C-alpha cells in the first residue's frame, strides 16, 4: 500500500483534483495502429534501426516535438510542459529479432529472417502515440517529458550508450517508465510489481578438454564426453541444493558440441549457457559455484576445463515506492485493471536506466484467443491484440502526467553515479 507520509514533498495536486486519465483520442489510436504495422513490416536488428529511426524522427517532426539522435540509431525527444514540475522519461525499444515470421498477418515482416517477435514495434508506436497526446496537452502539463527510443535491446544493448550520450542528463530525468507487451494479461490489464521484475543475464562458455584417442582403446585417452556429461549434471546441483529456495537463480546449458565420429574419443567438448538471478548476491554466487563445479568435476575425470563468463544485463529492479505509488495512481485515475505479476527470469536492458534513476517496468496485457495472441515472445507465431495499444498509450501518458505533477513518488534529481 502507498504510504502518503513517505512521499517526497507535497503533491502538486490534491487527490480529489487529480486528472482522470482517459484513453487516447480515436485519431491517436488509429495512428498508433498504422505506425505499429509499418514498423512491423520492416523489422531491423540491433543498431541497424535506420528506417525505424527515420520513421520516429518524421513522426516527431510532424507532431512538432524537438528531438536529437543518440547511440547511433536511437532518438531522444523532449516535450516541455507549460507548468512547473518534474522531469519524467518514457522509454521504448525499437529492435527486432532474427526470427522468420509465420503469423500470416497482412502486415507480416517483409524481411526474411527478421521479425518483431518481442513487440518492440508496438512499444515504439505506443510511445509515439503518447508523444502526440502529451504534446497536445502541453499547456496543462507539469514538468518535462523525455521520450527515449532506444536501439538494440535484444543485444548487444542500446540502453548503456543512450545513457552515456546523455539521454538521462539533458534534461535531468527524475523518474523513468517503460512498457513491455505481455501475453499473460489481456488488453485493459497492466501489471506493476515493486522490486525485481527481470533477471540478470550472464553468458557462460565452457570448454572441457581431455585427450583424444581410438574408440576401442579408451584407457589410452581421456574422454571429454563423459566428463562434460558429469559437468552438466553436477551444475543442476546449484539451483537444486545451493541457492536459498526462497531466492531465484537459473543455470541453463543451452548448447553442447564435441567429438568427431562414432569410433573416435573426443578430446574437447564445448558448451554455452545462461546464468540468471534477481539479486546481486545470488548472481555473484552463481559465478563462483559454476567455476568450482566445472573445474573440479572435470578434474575428477582427469580432464581440464576452461570457463569464460560474460556479464550481461543486470536485473531490472522497479523502485518500490515509485511502483507502488504509480500502481495506486492507475487504480484511482484510470479504467485499467492493475495486476501484480510475479517477476520473471527474462532479461531487459532497461536495467541500466533503473540503476541510474527510480524506474518502473510496466507489463501490458496483449493476450486474446480471438486475435490469436496466445504465443510467447520470440515465437515466429507471436502476435498481439492491437486493442492493447491505446491502453499502453494511456499508461505512458499517465506516468508522465503523474510524475511531472509529483502525484506519484518522485525524489527530485537524484542520480546515482
Ligand atoms: Zn525479447
Ligand atoms: Zn522485448
Ligand with minimal distance to 97 CA:
1
Stretch 206-223: mean pLDDT: 98
DSSP-assigned letters across all residues of 255-274: EEEE-SSTTEE-SEEEEEEE
Q: Is the pLDDT of residue 1 over 60?
A: no
Stretch 371-391: mean pLDDT: 95
CA distances to 26, 104, 135, 162 from 147, in Å:
22, 32, 11, 12
Smallest Cα–Cα separation from 358: which of 277, 398, 404, 414?
A: 414
Q: What percentage of the chain exceeds 90 in pLDDT?
A: 92
Model confidence over 154-193: pLDDT tens digits?
Answer: 999 999 999 999 999 999 999 999 999 999 999 999 999 9
Ligand with minimal distance to 150 CA:
2
Ligand with minimal distance to 92 CA:
2
Ligand with minimal distance to 350 CA:
2
Q: Is the pLDDT of residue 7 over 70?
A: no
- CA 180 to ligand 2 centroid distance, Å: 6
- 17: pLDDT confidence band, cut at 50, 70 and 90? low
Which long-range contacts link 31-34 to residues 24+ away (Cβ below 8 Å)? Answer: 31/128, 31/129, 31/132, 32/125, 32/126, 32/128, 32/129, 32/389, 32/390, 32/393, 33/125, 33/386, 33/389
- CA 217 to ligand 1 centroid distance, Å: 48
* Helix%, strand%, coil% for the chain, nearest 5: 35, 25, 40
Specify which residues 264 forms β-bridges with: 214
pLDDT for res 371? 85
pLDDT for res 15? 52
pTM of the model: 0.91
- CA 131 to ligand 1 centroid distance, Å: 23
- CA 365 to ligand 1 centroid distance, Å: 16
Average pLDDT across the chain, whole number: 94
pLDDT for res 21? 81
pLDDT for res 412? 73
Could you tell me if 252 and 272 are in contact, meaning their C-beta atoms sit under 8 angstroms apart? no
Stretch 337-360: mean pLDDT: 97
Could you tell me if 179 and 73 are in contact, meaning their C-beta atoms sit under 8 angstroms apart? no
- CA 380 to ligand 2 centroid distance, Å: 14
Q: Is the pLDDT of residue 113 over 60?
A: yes
Cell of 324: 507502488
Q: How many CB atoms lie within 10 A of CB 61?
A: 12
- Least confident piece of the model among 2-16, 125-139, 175-189, 231-245: 2-16
Q: Is the pLDDT of residue 225 over 50?
A: yes
- Least confident piece of the model among 7-16, 106-115, 193-202, 212-221: 7-16
- 288: pLDDT confidence band, cut at 50, 70 and 90? very high
Q: How far apart are CA 1 and CA 8, in angstroms?
A: 16
- 4: pLDDT confidence band, cut at 50, 70 and 90? very low
pLDDT for res 5? 37
pLDDT for res 10? 43
Cell of 289: 559455484
- CA 52 to ligand 2 centroid distance, Å: 16
Q: Is the pLDDT of residue 35 over 50?
A: yes
Model confidence over 252-265: pLDDT tens digits?
Answer: 999 999 999 999 99
Smallest Cα–Cα separation from 134: which of 19, 12, 38, 16?
A: 19
Stretch 107-116: mean pLDDT: 98
Q: Which residues are catalytic?
A: 313, 386
Residue 201's φ and ψ, nearest 5 degrees, are: -130, 85
Stretch 29-51: mean pLDDT: 98
Q: Is the pLDDT of residue 246 over 50?
A: yes
pLDDT for res 22? 85
pLDDT for res 6? 39
Amino acid at each position: 500500500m502507498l504510504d502518503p507520509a513517505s512521499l517526497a514533498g507535497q503533491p502538486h495536486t490534491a487527490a480529489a483534483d487529480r486528472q482522470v486519465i482517459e484513453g487516447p483520442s480515436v485519431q491517436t489510436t488509429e495512428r498508433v495502429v498504422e505506425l505499429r504495422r509499418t514498423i512491423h513490416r520492416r523489422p531491423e536488428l540491433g543498431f541497424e534501426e535506420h528506417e525505424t529511426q527515420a520513421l520516429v524522427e518524421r513522426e516527431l517532426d510532424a507532431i512538432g516535438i524537438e528531438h536529437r539522435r543518440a547511440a547511433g540509431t536511437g532518438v531522444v525527444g523532449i516535450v516541455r510542459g507549460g507548468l512547473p514540475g518534474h522531469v519524467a522519461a518514457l522509454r521504448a525499444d525499437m529492435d527486432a529479432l532474427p526470427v522468420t515470421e509465420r503469423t500470416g498477418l497482412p502486415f507480416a515482416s517483409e524481411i526474411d529472417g527478421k521479425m518483431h517477435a518481442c513487440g518492440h514495434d508496438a512499444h515504439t508506436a505506443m510511445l509515439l502515440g503518447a508523444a502526440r497526446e502529451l504534446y497536445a496537452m502541453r499547456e496543462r502539463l507539469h514538468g518535462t517529458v523525455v521520450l527515449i527510443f532506444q536501439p538494440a535491446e535484444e543485444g548487444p544493448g542500446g540502453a548503456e550508450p543512450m545513457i552515456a550520450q546523455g539521454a538521462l542528463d539533458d534534461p535531468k530525468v527524475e523518474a523513468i517508465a517503460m512498457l513491455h507487451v505481455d501475453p499473460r494479461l489481456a488488453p485493459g490489464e497492466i501489471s506493476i510489481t515493486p522490486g525485481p521484475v527481470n533477471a540478470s543475464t550472464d553468458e557462460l562458455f565452457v570448454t572441457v578438454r581431455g585427450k583424444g584417442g581410438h574408440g576401442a582403446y579408451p584407457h589410452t585417452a581421456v574422454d571429454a564426453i563423459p566428463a562434460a556429461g558429469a559437468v552438466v549434471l553436477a551444475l543442476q546441483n546449484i539451483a537444486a541444493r545451493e541457492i536459498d529456495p526462497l531466492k531465484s537463480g537459473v543455470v541453463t546449458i543451452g548448447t553442447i558440441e564435441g567429438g568427431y565420429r562414432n569410433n573416435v574419443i573426443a578430446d574437447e567438448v564445448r558448451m554455452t549457457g545462461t546464468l540468471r538471478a534477481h539479486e546481486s548476491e545470488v548472481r555473484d554466487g552463481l559465478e563462483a559455484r559454476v567455476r568450482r563445479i566445472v573445474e573440479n568435476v572435470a578434474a575428477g575425470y582427469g580432464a581440464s576445463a576452461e570457463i569464460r563468463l560474460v556479464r550481461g544485463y543486470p536485473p531490472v529492479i522497479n523502485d518500490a515506492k515509485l511502483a507502488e505509488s504509480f500502481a495506486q495512481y492507475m487504480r484511482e485515475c484510470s479504467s485499467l485493471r492493475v495486476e501484480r505479476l510475479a517477476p520473471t527470469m527474462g532479461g531487459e536492458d532497461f536495467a541500466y536506466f533503473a540503476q541510474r534513476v527510480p524506474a518502473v517496468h510496466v507489463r501490458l496485457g496483449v493476450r486474446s484467443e480471438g486475435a490469436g495472441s496466445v504465443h510467447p515472445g520470440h515465437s515466429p507465431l507471436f502476435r498481439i491484440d492491437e486493442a492493447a495499444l491505446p491502453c499502453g498509450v494511456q499508461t505512458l501518458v499517465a506516468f508522465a502526467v503523474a510524475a511531472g505533477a509529483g502525484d506519484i513518488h518522485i525524489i527530485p534529481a537524484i542520480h546515482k553515479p
